[in-house]
Amino acid sequence: MTKRIIMHVDMDAFFASVEVLDDKSLKGKPIIVGGISDRGVVSTCSYEARKYGVKSAMPVYIAKKKCPHGIFLPVRYWRYKEISKEIFKIFCSLTPYVEPLSIDEAYLDLSYINEDPIECAKYIKQKVQKEIGLNLSIGISYNKFLAKLASDWNKPNGLKVITEEMIPELLFPLEISRVYGIGNKSVKRLNDIGVFNIEQLYNLPKELLRELMGKMGIEVYERIRGYDNREVVVERERKSIGRETTLAKDVEQIEELKELIYEFAKSISKTLKAKNISAKNVTIKIKTADFKSHTKSKTLNHYIVGEEDIFKEAYNILENLDIKDKIRLVGVSMSSFKEDKLEQISIFNSLSL
């Protein structure tokens, strides 16, 4: 297999950094985001608060003891999600091979880009800083395990490359819990036999690891030797793309829905185009005043993507529905997608910072 270039990107103190972004007076302060009642737990905290020993998943009442002057804020998930979407757009502007891991973290496979990975990392860092105003840490290596380890290497605002020559020595001093696949139970089992760091782990025979951790033991044995063939899995496309709404007033005449269906078609068409796909299945969903649902689908013999086409097909299905009751909800969705070829682009020529 040819050598891969995998990048792991992870926002710094994500929820807390978004809070600072939205209220500049919080900058440089110990921010603790979480359930604000004393019975809640900490979601995350700023690096200033980490100095006092506050960390994710810690009960808030303990965080208050450790950092009494901390600023405790509630979780505003919708806002983090909003920012996350913008960040992922930037990742996707570099390569279509993006695997989201969580709201603030992703793997990118750069193997197919003819650009220097460090330049790519700088590009992402600058773009996220300039367009959003946040920092992130980036790790680059030849597999997922090492790329993730690298992004965590010198957080916050870190950038670390791990090459083949550095393995295994670079890993030796690290605690075994840093190895993907070694959870709390395995840590305990290994500690019990006197194994605390990766060097000690490295010296264990494969068979013993299998006995201790089953199949995962073999994976761990390979991982610390620099073998990890897990692919970057691009998020599967949604099975359908659609829009629906409950009407402000129940509707009797289909014609009254014409404008709305056109709006739906326009919006769906925009999403399809952004995703570089077309679709050949159109579905209309209706809920009548008696709360009964009706759906009707049609599979075309060609793929469509334009708003006019989607509107024509959707409205046609609607007109032919035999609905006697008043309509209280209407929806249009498209499915059965065809992916149009992903074009590999030279980012530095086509996108300016």
Binding-site members are 10, 104
Report the partner that residue 56 touches, choosing among ligand TTP, Mg ion, none (CB closer than 5 to 8 A by kind). ligand TTP
- Burial of residue 282 (number of CB atoms within 10 Å: 0-12, 13-18, 19+): buried
Helix segments in 132-183, DSSP class H: 144-151
User: Near ligand TTP by CB under 6 A, which window of 13-21, 125-133, 179-187, 231-239?
Assistant: 13-21
User: Which of these, 18, 20, 64, 25, lies nearest to 41 by C-alpha position?
Assistant: 64
Report the partner that residue 57 touches, choosing among ligand TTP, Mg ion, none (CB closer than 5 to 8 A by kind). ligand TTP
**Position 43 contacts ligand TTP (CB under 6 A):** yes
Out of 105, 109, 219, 228, the residue judged to bind ligand TTP by CB under 6 A: 105
| Torsion region of 197: left, alpha or beta (phi above 0 gives left; psi -120 to 50 gives alpha) | beta
Binding residues vs Mg ion (CB under 5 A): 10-11, 14, 104
Instruction: Give Cα separations from 239 to 154, 203, 280 (angstroms).
Output: 39, 47, 12
Judged by CB under 6 A, how many residues of this single chain contact ligand TTP? 15
Instruction: Give Cα separations from 15 to 83, 255, 265 (angstroms).
Output: 10, 46, 35
Catalytic, 105? Answer yes
Q: Which one, 169 or 175, has the nearer CB to ligand TTP?
A: 175
Binding mask 316-345 for ligand TTP (x = CB under 6 A): ------------------------------
CB 49 within 8 A of CB 67: yes
Report the partner that residue 15 touches, choosing among Mg ion, ligand TTP, none (CB closer than 5 to 8 A by kind). ligand TTP
Catalytic residue among 105, 219, 307, 313: 105
**Position 269 contacts ligand TTP (CB under 6 A):** no
CB of 256 to ligand TTP, least distance (A): 45
Report the partner that residue 35 touches, choosing among ligand TTP, Mg ion, none (CB closer than 5 to 8 A by kind). none
Q: Which one, 67 or 241, has the nearer CB to ligand TTP?
A: 67
Angle between helices 206-213 and 215-223 (to 10 degrees): 130
The one-letter amino acid code at 151 reads S
> For residue 19, what are its two tokens?
């809070």
User: Which of these, 81, 90, 82, 45, lies nearest to 64 by C-alpha position?
Assistant: 45
Residues 52-71 that bind ligand TTP (CB under 6 A): 56-57
| Pairing of β 71-73 and β 31-34 | parallel
Q: Which one, 7 or 318, has the nearer CB to ligand TTP?
A: 7
CB atoms under 10 Å from CB of 58, counted, come to: 16
For the annotated binding site for Mg(2+), the residues are 10, 104
CB 108 within 8 A of CB 88: no
**Position 11 contacts ligand TTP (CB under 6 A):** yes
**Position 14 contacts ligand TTP (CB under 6 A):** yes
List interacting residues with ligand TTP (CB under 6 A). 10-15, 43-44, 56-57, 103-105, 155-156
Residues recognised as catalytic: 105
